[in-house]
A and B are shown apart, each in its own frame.
Chain A
Amino acid sequence: EAGVAQSPRYKIIEKRQSVAFWCNPISGHATLYWYQQILGQGPKLLIQFQNNGVVDDSQLPKDRFSAERLKGVDSTLKIQPAKLEDSAVYLCASSLDPVAARLFGSGTRLTVV
């Protein structure tokens, strides 16, 4: 079965610019997650969707980050404007339901200069 697809793999932008990441989850997975992984740390949950509704966005910096999951399948995560501290790997994951194992994509490495 196809895994979680993410694009782009790498992105370099200047601070105050905007950037968007795309994720296509495993077919049939109702739950989708975006994680931020800073170098040397474990992933931190930014937002969790159940179908196209937000379940948890308590750690999403809403003044600059936004995410949507239209039609309950693909999802995009946007940062506007970016800060230097946003440099990280952004991981998308999906699962059949909230208590099933999360399966991850390859991630997008963002560098803000």
Chain B
Amino acid sequence: AQSVTQLDSQVPVFEEAPVELRCNYSSSVSVYLFWYVQYPNQGLQLLLKYLSGSTLVKGINGFEAEFNKSQTSFHLRKPSVHISDTAEYFCAALPLQGAQKLVFGQGTRLTINP
């Protein structure tokens, strides 16, 4: 069975500081990996995805993530955050064999303080 663990439920950061949101996955088969952002009272918006190729993936809004197969991690980073980045962030894994059901982590609430 696949699982996704987001290691921090809440991350407070000052504006213009760097941030890293951590994600680890567990799977017996190859996976695609995704990060989604959810603003208050909104649906999930795709930030970025890793399918294959370069392990450093760039997404929207200045975010990037690095796939590390040996550590089964897919951490999300941004060098300088803005107040508008305050939201819930979800990491998700999609197994490429079997049921192909997207598995979500529990989410990390990113709060940007002025």
Contacts and interface: CB of A to CB of B under 8 A. Distances in A.
Binding partners A and B:
yes
Contacts of A99: 32, 94, 96, 100
A107 B43 contact: yes
B67 interface: no
A102 B99 contact: no
A78 interface: no
Number of contact residues on B: which range applies? 20 to 34
Interface of A: 4, 6, 40-45, 48, 56, 91, 93, 98-99, 101-107, 109
B44 interface: yes
Contact of B34 (A48, A101, A105, A107): A101
Question: Max chain A CB contacts within 10 Å: which of B32, B42, B101?
Answer: B101
A43 B104 contact: yes
Contacts of B96: 99
Contact of B106 (A41, A93, A102): A41
A44 B101 CA distance: 10
Contacts of B94: 99
Contacts of B49: 101
Contact of B44 (A6, A56, A98, A104): A104
B106 A43 contact: no
A41 B107 contact: yes
Contacts of A106: 42-43
Given A99-B32, A99-B96, A101-B49, A45 B102 contact: yes
Contacts of A4: 43
Nearest to A41: B106
Contacts of B106: 41-42
B44 A91 contact: yes
